[in-house]
Amino acid sequence: MIPWLDSISCEFPPISGALDDPNGLLAAGGDLSPQRLLNAYSKGIFPWFNPGEPILWWSPDPRCSIEPEQIHLSRSLKKAIRKAEFQLSFDRSFEAVVQACSEPRQYSEETWISAEMQAAYLKLHNLGHAHSVELWQDDQLCGGLYGIAIGRLFFGESMFSKRDNCSKIAFAFFARQLQKWGYALIDCQIENNHLTSMGAQNIPRAEFQGYLDNYLTEQPDHEWVFDIDKQDVVGRE
Q: CATH for 64-234, among 3.40.630.70, 3.10.105.10, 3.90.1140.10, 3.40.50.300?
A: 3.40.630.70
Q: State residue 109's pLDDT score.
A: 47
Q: Mean pLDDT of residues grouped by 10 in the chain (237 residues)?
A: 92 96 98 98 96 95 98 96 97 98 66 90 98 97 98 97 96 98 97 93 97 96 97 84
- d(CA 188, CA 178) in angstroms, rounded, equals 14
C-alpha atoms less than 13 angstroms from C-alpha of 55 in its C-beta half-sphere = 19
Cα dihedral 71, 163, 98, 220, rounded to 10, equals 30
Identity at 63, one-letter amino acid code: R
What is residue 153's three-state secondary structure? strand
| Ordered alpha helix ranges (H), 86-204 | 94-102, 115-126, 166-181, 193-196
Packing angle, helices 115-126 and 34-42, rounded to 10: 80
- Region(s) of the chain under CATH 3.40.630.70: 64-234
Q: What is the DSSP letter of 105?
A: B
- d(CA 135, CA 115) in angstroms, rounded, equals 23
pTM of the entire structure? 0.95
Identity at 146, one-letter amino acid code: Y
* CATH class of the domain whose range is 4-61: alpha beta
- Region(s) of the chain under CATH 3.30.70.3550: 4-61
